[in-house]
Amino acid sequence: MAAPMERVIKQQTERSTFKTTSFQKKTRSKLLSIPGTRPSVQNGQLLVSSGVTSLDFLLGGGLAVGTVLLIEEDRYDSYSRVILKYFLAEGVVCRHRLFVAAAQENPDDILQELPAPILDDVAIPKPVEQPRLPCESQESLDSMKIAWRYQNLPKVQTALVSSSRFGHYYDVSKTMEPEIRQAAKSHCFYLPDHPQKTSNTHSQFLGPYSALLKSLQEVIRQEGFEVAASMSNSQNPNVLRIGLHSLGSALWGDDLCCSDSPEHRHSLVTFLYGLRALLRSSLAVAVITLPSHLIQDRALMGNITRLSDYSIALESFKGSERETNPLYRDYHGLLHVRQVPHLNCLASQLPDHKDLAFKLKRKQFSIERLHLPADLSETVSRVSRGELPGANAVASACGSATSGNKHLDF
Amino acid sequence: MYTELNSILNTSPESFTKGDFILLSDKQSDASFLIHHFLSFYLRAKCKVCFLAMVQSFSHYSTVSQRLGVSLAQAKEKGQLVFLEGLQESLSILIPQDEHTGSQAMNFLRDPKLGLQDLYEFVSSKVKRSCGGEAESEEWGPPVLLVDDLSVLLTLGVTVGAVLDFSHYCQATICSKLQGNMVMLVRCDQEEDEGDNESPACLLKGLTHQSSLTLDVQGLPTGYCRDIHGQVEVCWQRRQGDGQNTQNKLFQYKVHDKGASFFARGTSSAVL
């Protein structure tokens, strides 16, 4: 069959040009090519991986450079910490620079606990094939003898950009080897090392966060992460990954979580405004975790969400009665996507489903749509008709309102 | 600019009412697509535009305006557009440096009790210069002020009273004296407590009273839908000449890559 064969050949040549040009929209500014980043297919923006591939998929391909991801912590700060560590580990593997700030513990301790990357998993890019003449070589490789109807379908491609892969997998049960970790340069900010200067009247409004913002600006300036500086130097541009742990908690000197009408009501939002100003003009991405369950004021939470770009909330089942509920036995918690920004375009791409749940497996942090486990018991009715967020198909039409162990009753 | 919105509002770049204060508000959705509409509309109408962009960078607006067919960089060079990038100016105030290079407009960040007087001085100086008698400024039409958005000023600590004063001063200068237009965006969350005096809802009530046209963007009352992004309620407060006081119209909208389409309720292309 001549026609399908030609289509396959055309796909082959297109795919080979795909690898060399690394598909980008035509923009006036030249797109920087930094290892570990790729341009978004929607609007040509530069994206970095957050370390969790399913989260990348939810957020539209990855985190755009110059934005802030806000993670509302779960109650015991277990899974939000895991995501922060994935983010930093991804930075180490992609040779990005790191900046970690924490008030509760030394940032070095966080950096010691990064998960180990699964490196033998990285696919080796196939050598680019020259487009061959449509003759017997193609036939021998690509023609299918039995399932020839499927010949026209595109082959599954693990798309790679230049040298490194976008998005890696990590093994949470092992920690990263020190040799790998030291390959990436990191800056640490431990709050007790920076006592608050009271003489500075300009930054009184930032309160406890003024030292942090100043330190961030210094790092960005000195290491050359500003976009203007990176474009003019032709040295290798790089991305700075900023991880800020538990902002807004009392350990930062902020009383947002402590009282109903806090004195430092505007410190955190002013800091987020300044952070957005810094990031929009530099090649950096920030991930902030925030104990939102301690903040009573919903309007304040709304302001904080609006001043960050991406915002997700984690709700783990640990310690709640849902932990033992058999409906949730496959998952560790629920994930809510609160906000996805629309940068350089008019419309944002919110995920289609609102009912997402996550599970931390050894080699993967998976986020999927919440679905009920298979009901393999003898009885028809479910064990408990508890509250389920967003799941539509729980109550069967003919079932009664009360849960029971009765067999089929009409 | 979105042609359907122009026909709903009965305006076009060639003829639009002067001296209008247009208020954009949203509740748990995003009305910033309307700001892009008005920005490209007034630039096409050859007005002198003063844009206070508090929440996004210049490149964001410039990229979106390019899709709508207007070049912000060119307008800035020609002098038609005065762009205040709040984010950039604020950094020099938030992180104190020895040499202070930014303009005085964002001084409210130093001490919010000062109010927005410096911001108003900035606006009036930029706007009055267009009518100052320079030869080349005759080619631009009446001045227009666009603000995106006012509620971020509230979150940064400015009081509702100060923001209302600012909008009142701007209205007196731009709309009444210079016969220009004003467009401001206010973003709210869900219903706030009645006793709270510093909420965006309070600000919204005050501004609605001052405005002549409000566009209120909300999500659909039935929930999230991929094909219909929400509904817009258009409300005229005053009409010159006609006896009718207020008239409300409700439309649903969907935002695409290059614009937004508006349609009557229930007539979305996904449904029909």
Model pLDDT for residues A52-96, shown as the tens digit of each residue: 999 999 998 899 999 999 999 999 999 999 999 999 999 998 889
Whether B90 and A273 lie within 8 Å, measured CB to CB: yes
Distance of CA A16 to the CA centre of its chain: 29
Could you tell me if B230 and B219 are in contact, meaning their C-beta atoms sit under 8 angstroms apart? yes
Crossing angle, helix A210-222 and helix A267-280, to 10 degrees?
10
pLDDT (0 to 100) of residue A391: 42
| Closest among A140, A362, A100 to A245, alpha carbons compared | A100
- pLDDT value of position A330: 85
Name the closest residue on chain B to residue A264, using Cα atoms: B157
Q: Exposed, middle or buried by CB within 10 Å (0-12, 13-18, 19+), for B272?
A: exposed
The interface predicted TM-score of the complex, written ipTM, equals 0.92
Q: Which of A20-34, A351-365, B81-95, B175-189 has the lowest mean pLDDT?
A: A20-34
Residue of A213, A346, A347 with shortest CB distance to B94 = A213
Q: What rounded mean pLDDT belongs to chain A?
A: 77
Distances (CA, A) of A286 to A99, A280, B149: 9, 11, 23
Per-residue pLDDT, A407: 58
Average pLDDT of the residues in A112-127: 65
The per-type count for chain A, helices as H runs and strands as E runs, is: 10, 14
pLDDT at A19: 37
pLDDT of A121 > 50? The answer is no
pLDDT tens track for A283-317: 999 999 999 998 888 888 989 999 999 999 999 99
Task: Count interface pairs A-B at CB distance under 8 A.
Answer: 99
pLDDT of residue A216: 93
B218-236: burial string, b at 16+ Cβ within 10 Å, e else: bbeeeeeeeebbbbbebbb
Decide if pLDDT at A382 tops 70. Answer: no
* Per-residue pLDDT at A237: 84
CB contact under 8 A, B88 and A203: no
Q: Which CATH architecture has domain A66-118+169-386?
A: 3-Layer(aba) Sandwich (3.40)
| pLDDT for position A52 | 92
Query: Any idea of the CA torsion for A344, A338, A274, A214, to the nearest 10 degrees?
Result: -120
Out of B109, B226, B257, closest to residue A352 by CB: B226
Higher pLDDT, B109 or A392: B109
pLDDT in tens, A158-182: 333 333 578 888 989 988 888 888 8
Q: Which residues of A touch B59 (CB under 8 A)?
A: 344
With a pLDDT cut of 90, the percent of chain A lying above it is: 32
Please tell me the predicted confidence (pLDDT) of residue B166. Answer: 94
State the Cα–Cα distance between residues A355 and A352, nearest whole angstrom. 9
d(CA A295, CA A303): 12
Interface contact flag, B257 A344, Cβ < 8 Å: no
* pLDDT tens track, chain B, 272 positions: 888 999 888 888 888 888 899 999 998 888 999 999 999 999 999 999 999 999 999 999 999 999 999 999 999 999 999 999 999 888 888 887 766 666 678 888 887 777 888 999 999 998 886 555 454 555 788 999 999 889 999 988 889 999 999 999 999 999 999 999 999 999 988 766 655 677 888 899 999 999 999 999 998 888 888 888 999 999 988 655 555 556 789 999 999 888 899 998 888 887 77
pLDDT of residue B172: 93
Confirm or reject contact between B220 and chain A (CB < 8 A): no
Minimum distance, in Å, between the CA of residue A402 and any CA atom of chain B: 28
Q: Are A107 and A190 in contact (CB under 8 A)?
A: yes
Strand B143-148 relative to strand A310-316, pairing: unpaired
The confidence score (pLDDT) of residue A242 equals 95
**Closest alpha carbon within chain B to A304:** B155
State the pTM of this model.
0.82
Q: Report pLDDT for A315.
A: 93
Residue A72 or A147, more confident: A72
Chain A residue with Cα closest to B255: A347
